[in-house]
Amino acid sequence: MDYTFLMEDDTYIHFEFQTTNKGKSDLRRFRVYEAVLSLQKDKDVTTYVVYSGNIKNAKDTLETGINKYKVKSIFMSDKNGDLIVEELEKKVKNKENITKQELVALTFTPIMGGKLTKAEKIIKSIRIVKSSENEYKYDIESMLYAFADKFLSGKDLQKVKEEISMTELGRMLIEDGIEKGRKEGIEEGIEKGKSETLIKLLIKKFGFLSEEYKSKISKLSNETIDIILMEIFDIKSINELDKYFSK
239 and 152 share a domain?
Answer: yes
pTM metric for this prediction: 0.57
What pLDDT is recorded for position 178? 47
Distance, in Å, from the CA atom of 136 to the CA atom of 140, rounded to the nearest integer, reads 6
User: pLDDT band for position 141 (50/70/90)?
Assistant: confident
107 and 182 share a domain?
Answer: yes
Percent of the chain beyond pLDDT 70?
88
Percent of the chain beyond pLDDT 90?
31
Region 154-182: mean pLDDT is 72
What pLDDT is recorded for position 19? 82
22: helix, coil or strand? coil
Domain with 53, as residue range(s), is 3-77
What pLDDT is recorded for position 2? 65
> pLDDT digits over 32-61, tens only?
999 999 998 999 999 999 887 678 889 999
What pLDDT is recorded for position 71? 96
Domain boundary among 56, 77, 98: 77
Is 169 within 8 Å of 176 (Cβ atoms)? no
65 and 102 share a domain?
Answer: no
Domain boundary among 39, 57, 77: 77
Annotate 99-137 with DSSP letters as a single string. Answer: -HHHHHHHHTGGGSBSSS-HHHHHHHHHHHHHH---TTH
What pLDDT is recorded for position 204? 79
Q: Half-sphere exposure (CA, 13 Å, Cβ side) for 206?
A: 19
157 and 208 share a domain?
Answer: yes
